[in-house]
Amino acid sequence: MESQTSRRARLLVVEDEADLRRSLEYALKASGYDVQTADSGDSTLRALDAFEPDLVLLDVMLPDISGLDICRRIHQMPESRRAVVVILSARVEESDRVAGFEAGADDYVVKPFNVRELILRIEARLKTRDPVPETDELTRPGKADGLNVGVLTVDEKAHRVLVNGREVHVSVMEMRLIVHLMRAPGRMCTRRKLLTEVWGYHPEVSSRTVDTHVKRLRDKLGEAADLLQTVRGIGFRLATPEGDEGNGKSHANR
């Protein structure tokens, strides 16, 4: 099956600055993407329904609707129609990045930016939407690759999460988070450590970003939700079903 990038992935550029909007449209079309543009929140919402983009480049400062509100709406869309969101913003404070990720963004790019670097980021994000055949080897008994803890199995390269063989759809950031925790089951990770190593920046503000993503993951994991534990006042860990570290009932809560 064709990948998203080889079948002319659909990109929606949301930017109210005309010159930048036209420049991005030109560069992305030259890179082989099917591109539409919007200059307001209202036109963005119409384009989401009519164009059904694979990825949205989203300016935060729009004349009518906040880009963060649009990001939240996208995140609430059905999985099959939910676009990857890359925020483009001149806001550089840690609190602004936090707000973007908490709204459901998959990436955050600060203006001004290098267009070639932006295109590379777009390519990386679109790979997470590539369809994977249902007969993928991850579901076969004895498969050695991937990460396994109890009923939970993750293949980062294929962007697949399975609970007892049933696929669970997760966002890019949710995948990064679960992979990070699964690489060391039973190890406690502080919120600050997760923000640094998973989100990729050094937090200087108090944030509920990690808590928000953990809650979303738990809601999706079903019978594996209890593996994702909260260490009160400190951070999170992925339990090991058979060990004392994994049980942690006296110290962890959901």
User: For residues 230 and 189, is the Cβ–Cβ distance under 8 A?
Assistant: no
Residue 101 shares a structural domain with residue 165: no
At 202 the pLDDT is: 56
User: For residues 91 and 46, is the Cβ–Cβ distance under 8 A?
Assistant: no
Residue 17 shares a structural domain with residue 97: yes
- Residue 7 pLDDT grade (very low, low, confident, very high; cuts 50, 70, 90): low
- Confidence check: pLDDT of 204 > 60: no
Check the CA dihedral 164-180-157-214 and report its sign.
positive
Residue 189 shares a structural domain with residue 113: no
User: Is residue 1 included in any domain, yes or no?
Assistant: no
At 88 the pLDDT is: 92
Residue 203 shares a structural domain with residue 235: yes
Domain-terminating residue out of 127, 157, 173? 127
User: For residues 85 and 106, is the Cβ–Cβ distance under 8 A?
Assistant: yes
Residue 40 shares a structural domain with residue 86: yes
Q: Write out pLDDT tens, residues 23-44.
A: 999 999 999 999 999 999 999 9
User: Is residue 138 included in any domain, yes or no?
Assistant: no
Residue 24 shares a structural domain with residue 102: yes
pLDDT above 90 as % of the chain: 29
231 vs 199, higher pLDDT: 231
What would the DSSP string read from start to end of 35-80? EEEESSHHHHHHHHHHH--SEEEEES--SSS-HHHHHHHHHTS-GG
Domain-terminating residue out of 77, 100, 127? 127
- Residue 185 to residues 72, 138, 144, 146, 179: CA-CA distances in angstroms? 31, 20, 17, 14, 10
Residue 184 shares a structural domain with residue 234: yes
User: Is residue 200 included in any domain, yes or no?
Assistant: yes
Q: Write out pLDDT tens, residues 36-75.
A: 999 999 999 999 999 999 999 999 999 999 999 999 999 8
Q: What is the CATH number of the domain that holds 34?
A: 3.40.50.2300
**Domains in the chain, number:** 2
DSSP alpha helices (H): ranges in 78-171? 94-102, 115-127
DSSP 111: S
Residue 109 shares a structural domain with residue 158: no
Q: Which residues of 176-211 are buried (b: 16+ CB within 10 A; e: fewer)?
A: bbbebbbeebbebbebeebbeebbeeebeeebebbe
Residue 114 shares a structural domain with residue 15: yes
- Confidence check: pLDDT of 144 > 60: no
User: Is residue 170 included in any domain, yes or no?
Assistant: yes
Q: What is the CATH number of the domain that holds 190?
A: 1.10.10.10
Structural domain for 32, as ranges? 10-127
Residue 149 shares a structural domain with residue 109: no
- Confidence check: pLDDT of 148 > 60: yes
User: Is residue 245 included in any domain, yes or no?
Assistant: yes
Whole-number Å distance between alpha carbons of 44 and 76: 15
Question: What does the block give as tokens for 75?
Answer: 């995140």
Residue 123 shares a structural domain with residue 19: yes
Domain-terminating residue out of 127, 158, 182? 127
Q: Write out pLDDT tens, residues 214-226.
A: 888 899 999 899 9
Q: How large is the average pLDDT for residues 174-184?
A: 87
- Confidence check: pLDDT of 205 > 90: no
Residue 112 shares a structural domain with residue 151: no
User: Is residue 3 included in any domain, yes or no?
Assistant: no
User: Is residue 235 included in any domain, yes or no?
Assistant: yes
User: Is residue 101 included in any domain, yes or no?
Assistant: yes
